[in-house]
Structure 1
Amino acid sequence: MRDASDFLNVLAAADNLNLQELVDYLQKYLIRNKPELIEQNFGLTQKIISQSNNLLELQEFCINLMAQSPEKIFKSFDFILLSEKSLISLIKMDDLQMKEIEVWEHVLKWGLAQNPTLIPDSSIWSDDDFNKMKNTLQHILPSIRFFSLSSKEFLKKVRPYKKLLNNQLYEDIVNSHMDPDSEPADNISLPRNIKIERIIDSKIVNLDIVSIISKWIDKTVIINNSKYDHLRELYLPYEFKLLLRGSRDGFTPKKFHELCDGNVNNVTFIKVKGTEEILGGYNPLEWTSSGSWSKTRDSFIFSFKNRNISDAILSIVTNENYALDNSAICGPQFGRDLIINSNGYANFSVICCKKNFYEKSIRDTEDDFSIEDYEVFQMIKRK
């Protein structure tokens, strides 16, 4: 047979002719030997199943595929052939392993396929064109998790289609990105449960903190400490390569410079002893033992009082000439604001936070504190 559609059409023909023995054989053969044909042509497979009462094994396989690997269906060659009911079932799944912006783009693609007279460029759509698409997607749009999108995604990918959304929903989404005092409604769906591996091996921070740090680095956040932060998708464009862990490698400036010098784009996390407080800083450059200052506009320091992003403090550098201290007797020292100094001793002995060269203090006190553990990671862009 020339392609998968031929195979599936033979199955449909055998079913129409009530050749049950052949139907059973073809179903089993497809499921056991050619499951990729079903995955790649899921729309046609579903269409054939919907017209028959005899393809029970194939129907069960498709139901399991929707439950276990729904993202494969979105990537099938004929995704646009899915019924509205099947599409809604898919995008309602909490475990759908796709970014929400990808779900939105696939829904638009499906909608365009149902309206072949519409051109893809919405900038030249008439009001009638928008109404056609809105009617097509009216039962699907409520299942899109628009509040999971980043500001940039919403601006570039959703705003051109604002006429598809009801006015109140659109205004609520805009407010969630622009107004720090805006309160989320109780019925907003949480982000999907995306399975993420090999991002970071940390004993100090979780993925929520990693996500907000990554947003700060890439400047994707319009407002910090938004009440909608827990509704946004995790932003994880980097893999965090562990360079040093104090509890493993020691708390000496010698070991810090030995393991961390020369690695650009790194972040430090510090666990304050006896508390749940986490401090740290981002260095886009490399640490050295030169004894000089490194100049940058892009470094920042931060704190999380209870490992919770809702009480995060971000403090950006204000005097770029004194952003990073490369003293051989110091650890990862940011200005004179996050101080980790050995003061001539083998181990770090002076550890405190003060406001000097960064925007604001990240602690309520300038008193010295002890480190329970600290980690330094190099951030590498994920492929």
Structure 2
Amino acid sequence: MIIHGIVWDILIKWGIRQSPTLRLGISNWTYEDWMTLKEAVKDLIPHIKFSMISRNDYYGKILPFNKVLSTKEQNLNDEVLLCYLDKDVLTSNSKLLRKVFLDDSSIINHFHANIILQWIIEGREEQETFSYPKIKKSFFDLFCFKKNSKHNRSFTPTSSIKYRFNLLFSRCRDGFPTEDYHKKCDNLPNTLVVAKIHDSTSIIGGYAPRGLDLGFLTLYTITIDSSFLFNFKTGEPSIENTIQCKMRKDRDIENEYIPYLWVGPRFGAKDLAIDLHKMKATSVPQYYDKPIHDVKEFNVDDVEVFQVVEY
């Protein structure tokens, strides 16, 4: 798993060591000092994927050395700069003009979050027009939670709405699931799970509007809703290089019960199931319309669980 913020940090340190005239206190650097460093790293900077650098790393590592970037690199797309410099990111590349706040994630950035949010809203719109009254009613109930519940936050299709991707759990940060983890994450509406596939650039995940039970289960209920799976195959936030899988709309699978044991997020039976102890995942299509990954069993480096809410 390449963390581009770390790669940038190593590159800058390497560049400084190439010239004994450079002093570590950059506040005292002259124009010639900056040009010396710029010349040392200019051929390597294009390999840095700035869109994959977290907001914290951008503040702490990129901005202090902004002078070594070329004019083209300094004039990054305005939307990219907003994603890095402002926690509330305004975007207009979809039907709704909306703001997205993303807790500092080591797996996805604001561009991924915006694409995922677009899928969430599209899924809600599709579900509202779904022809089976029973499913339609249950979906309506899903987005009409009590106002006083801190866990139950509904989506409202207005142009002024803001969305927050609250990071509830990070496997690398928080370690093995604990009782506190289950209290925060189990059966939480509008749950988003993302994972970084080992030895790959792919980012895989899923969204469950009804929430997930992430502990040991002996009976698992399948209900048709607007859940979906996704795979950013190259790791880049681009729809062209992304697989999205939706739940099958077959009536015969609704409320189907399957016995199963698993510790971690699970979509369908094994359509996407991630074991948080072994850090292994499976992808065997059954309840979703296509496979989310071309390998049935694979390892993951990190897993993050979010709740997507309005604020």
TM-score by length of 1: 0.41
Higher-Rg member (1/2): 1
TM-score by length of 2: 0.50
Give the number of the structure with larger relative contact order, counting CA–CA contacts within 8 Å between residues 6 or more apart.
Answer: 2
- Structure with higher helix content: 1
- Structure with higher strand content: 2
